[in-house]
């Protein structure tokens, strides 16, 4: 496997009135994840990238971490460092953000 972890962040755009991750800072999350991983030297082992709809719009902004398949919802920019340190580095999901 090329990457130990792969983070897909929803950036999908939908017509109103549906909630949409793209409008809820999806690309800002992608950029912040990529920048933080690069600053930490983790971007060789862990990849973050934009994705289309993850089909959990009501919980957005959302993302999923593979290979575990852990879905996160209502992710804020302030949650990124915790997700990286806890889940991506130490393999402990951030339970308060996990979509069950």
Number of domain units in the chain:
1
37-77 residue pLDDT tens: 999 999 999 999 999 989 888 888 999 999 999 999 999 99
67-96 residue pLDDT tens: 999 999 999 999 999 999 999 999 999 999
The domain spanning residue 11 has which CATH number? 3.40.30.10
Task: Identify the domain containing residue 29 by its residue range.
Answer: 5-97
SS3 letters across 9-57: EECCCCCCCCCCCCCCCHHHHHHHHHHHHHHCCCCCCEEEEEECCCCCH
Per-residue pLDDT, 60: 80
């Amino acid at each position: 496997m090329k990457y130990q972890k792969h983070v897909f962040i929803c950036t999908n755009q939908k017509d109103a009135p549906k909630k949409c991750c793209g409008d809820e800072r999806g690309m800002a999350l992608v950029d912040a994840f990529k920048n933080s991983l690069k600053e930490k030297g983790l971007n060789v082992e862990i990849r973050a990238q934009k994705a289309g709809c993850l089909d959990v719009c009501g919980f957005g902004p959302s993302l999923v971490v593979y290979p575990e398949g852990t879905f996160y919802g209502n992710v804020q920019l302030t949650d990124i460092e915790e997700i990286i340190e806890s889940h991506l580095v130490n393999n402990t999901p951030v339970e308060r953000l996990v979509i069950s």
